[in-house]
């Protein structure tokens, strides 16, 4: 099986992360999936933003949770990366779904609820995913594994994958215990033996965030199922060189 390329926040190496232009570019670059980060606004709309504040990636300031979706839309989500991107907006999850549903792309949703719980975010997200017929093409991930347990309770067939950046004693056993279909570890936590063990346990492995060519080559050679990367074009080139 070939390693899937998952564009981390879109083609975020070159374009403003988590914007529509970054997702469209990722698709052109040959990505198989888009990874994005979901939070809730003050009026409980799921929107896409990595940080809990808008400070780093927009021309505004303050917490996402204190903005209405309408007011978030007034911010520039691109000017921090370059004046030519100044018209880029913060996407709502629904806008991304409208775009991605008719494509061939899969979706990796990350619930960003470690700092603020965003009560009900899982339910609101599931409703949207179902409305756009994306359940089979969506993987739900989070560092907050309670959210993944909730998702499995709501939708038995949902695919989940815990994110983790510190070693877990027995990740295969742990992932299976929470009903996950895969794991999304920090790439440095993987070894060829661990890849094998996880596969023997029927789990899919998608390390993050893999941006350097030699790391991409090694992880593809170990047989990981997906690479979460800011550089989908580079990953596609390396995969092509290997797969022919």
Q: Which residues bind Mg ion (CB under 5 A)?
A: 37, 110
CB 199 within 8 A of CB 222: no
Q: Is 159 in the site for ligand G3P (CB under 6 A)?
A: no
Nearer to ligand G3P, 35 or 122 (CB): 35
Nearest Cα to 112, choosing from 35, 37, 18, 19? 37
List the helix and strand counts (H, then E) for the chain.
9, 9
- For the question of residue 145 being annotated catalytic, the response is no
CA distance 104 to 62: 36
CA distance 20 to 36: 11
Residue whose beta carbon is closest to ligand G3P: 208
Over the window 118 to 137, marking each residue x when it contacts ligand G3P by CB under 6 A and - when it does not, the resulting string is --------------------
CA distance 125 to 236: 30
- For the question of residue 184 being annotated catalytic, the response is no
Find the shortest distance in angstroms from Cβ 161 to ligand G3P. 9
CB 150 within 8 A of CB 75: no
Nearer to Mg ion, 69 or 108 (CB): 108
Find the shortest distance in angstroms from Cβ 17 to ligand G3P. 9
Nearer to ligand G3P, 152 or 206 (CB): 206
Helices (H), 171-212: 171-177, 192-200
Q: Is 163 in the site for ligand G3P (CB under 6 A)?
A: yes
In the three-class reduction of DSSP (H, G, I as helix; E, B as strand; rest coil), residue 45 is classed as coil
Site for ligand G3P in 43-72 (CB under 6 A): 50
Residues of this chain that bind ligand G3P (CB under 6 A):
8, 35, 37, 50, 110, 141, 163, 184, 208-209, 228
């Amino acid at each position: 099986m070939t390693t899937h390329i998952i564009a981390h926040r879109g083609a975020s190496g070159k374009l403003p992360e988590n914007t529509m232009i970054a997702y469209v570019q990722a698709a052109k670059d040959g990505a198989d999936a888009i990874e994005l980060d979901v939070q809730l606004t003050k009026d409980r709309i799921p929107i896409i933003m990595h940080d809990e504040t808008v400070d780093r990636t927009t021309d505004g300031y303050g917490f996402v949770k204190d903005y209405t979706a309408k007011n978030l839309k007034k911010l520039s989500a691109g000017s921090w990366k370059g004046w030519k991107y100044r018209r880029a907006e913060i996407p709502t999850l629904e806008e991304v779904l409208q775009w991605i549903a008719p494509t061939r792309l899969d979706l990796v949703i990350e619930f960003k609820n470690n700092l603020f719980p965003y009560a009900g975010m899982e339910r609101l997200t599931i409703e949207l995913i179902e409305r756009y017929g994306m359940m089979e093409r969506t993987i739900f991930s989070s560092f907050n594994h309670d959210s993944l347990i909730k998702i499995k309770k709501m939708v038995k067939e949902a695919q989940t994958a815990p994110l983790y950046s510190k070693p877990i004693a027995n990740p295969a056993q742990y992932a299976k215990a929470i009903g996950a279909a895969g794991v999304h570890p920090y790439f440095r936590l993987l070894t060829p033996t661990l890849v094998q063990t996880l596969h023997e346990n029927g789990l899919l492995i998608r390390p993050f965030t893999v941006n350097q060519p030699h790391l991409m080559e090694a992880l593809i050679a170990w047989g990981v199922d997906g690479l979460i990367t800011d550089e989908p074009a580079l990953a596609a080139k390396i995969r092509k060189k290997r797969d022919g």
